[in-house]
Chain A
Amino acid sequence: MSSDMQVVVSQEQGRVPITVFHVKGEIGAHNYDQLQSQVSEAVESGMRDLILDLREVTYMSSAGLRALHAIFQKMHADDEMKKGMDDWWQGRAVNSPHLKIVAPPSHVLKTITAAGFDVFLEVHKSLKDAVGSF
């Protein structure tokens, strides 16, 4: 583990404009808040749909889960998004329509599934699939 995590932001166009955070490296207790803050700033600047591209994440502890969960909460905090989520929960689907993941390596994905996050967040095998899912 180094303390190095890199985040590169790009934009994709699916049925809606989508922001992609390409995360590389380790997400642990020493740096998870950086990812959380960057996403938070993007949400406050108007971002509505996000893909977290985790293909190059090599390590994730529970701190990384904390960041994912906080990002989820942040993205569904305002009234319009929350109402959208409430409608979503009414038995039709449980995955967030606004936050998707491109799968990390299997040993890292195990951490996400161990937390049960894959029930509420779509995990896609490719960026193309994730973009197409919006």
Chain B
Amino acid sequence: MNTTFSLTITANLNNLTDIYHFVQQTAARLGLEASIIYEVQLAVDEAVTNIIVHGYQNQGGNIEIEIKQDRDALVIHLRDNAIPFNPTSIPPPELTKPLTERAIGGMGVHLMRQTMDEVNYAVTSGGGNELTLIKRGIGKK
């Protein structure tokens, strides 16, 4: 199946639930295992939250989410017109540093990297951001 599932939604934290359901329903239609669905939901949640909070700075805007299966991989594109921001440039957190010495936050990109096989960033032709998440080896339930 090469169907592409798309959702364009207003960048607002109150819409995270709708995005969560969109990912869940799409992944279920593609026959993905429950554990993979959870990881995909988490990665998309992190990506979208970054766009809303850091990209659009909670001022609204649109996010386009596109999900498709490409052979044994799930490919997710997230596109927005917020300020240019490359999350892949964020260095990994210092996980062995005591919690009293670590700055709070900054784990979103780390969780994306932990749950996805690839996290890629590009600037779109219109000057917006495109984040691509790829999960390989997706199995059927």
| Residue positions of A touching B, CB distance < 8 A | 1-3, 28-30, 59, 61-63, 65-66, 69-70, 72-73, 76, 82, 85, 89, 94, 96, 107, 111, 114-117, 119-121
Cβ A111 vs Cβ B42 within 8 A: yes
Q: How many A-B residue pairs have CB under 8 A?
A: 80
- Provide a sorted-by-A list of 5 A–B residue pairs whose CB atoms are within 8 angstroms: A30-B16, A61-B46, A62-B105, A62-B108, A116-B96
Known pairs A72-B99, A107-B38, A115-B93; A29 contacts B110 (CB<8 A)? no
Cβ B35 vs Cβ A107 within 8 A: yes
Name the distance in Å between A84's Cβ and chain B's nearest Cβ. 11
Name the distance in Å between B100's Cβ and chain A's nearest Cβ. 6
A120-B99 Cα distance, complex, nearest whole Å: 7
Cβ B99 vs Cβ A73 within 8 A: yes
Instruction: Write out the residue numbers on chain A whose beta carbons fall within 8 Å of the beta carbon of B21.
Output: 1
Cβ A61 vs Cβ B96 within 8 A: no
A31-B36 Cα distance, complex, nearest whole Å: 24
A25-B14 Cα distance, complex, nearest whole Å: 16
Q: 4 new A-B pairs (CB below 8 Å) besides A62-B108, A111-B42?
A: A28-B49, A69-B102, A115-B110, A121-B99
Name the distance in Å between B86's Cβ and chain A's nearest Cβ. 18
Complex: chain B residue closest to A68, CB-CB: B99
Which of A2, A94, A111 sits near B111, CB closer than 8 Å?
A111
Name the distance in Å between B14's Cβ and chain A's nearest Cβ. 7
Name the distance in Å between B13's Cβ and chain A's nearest Cβ. 5
A119-B42 Cα distance, complex, nearest whole Å: 22
Cβ B100 vs Cβ A85 within 8 A: yes
A30-B19 Cα distance, complex, nearest whole Å: 13
Instruction: Write out the residue numbers on chain B whose beta carbons fall within 8 Å of the beta carbon of A111.
Output: 42, 111
A59-B13 Cα distance, complex, nearest whole Å: 16
Cβ A29 vs Cβ B49 within 8 A: yes
In B28-47, the 8 Å CB interface with A consists of: 35, 38, 41-42, 45-46
Complex: chain B residue closest to A29, CB-CB: B49
Instruction: Write out the residue numbers on chain A whose beta carbons fall within 8 Å of the beta carbon of B125.
Output: none
* Ranked 3 nearest A-B pairs via Cβ: A116-B95, A1-B20, A62-B107
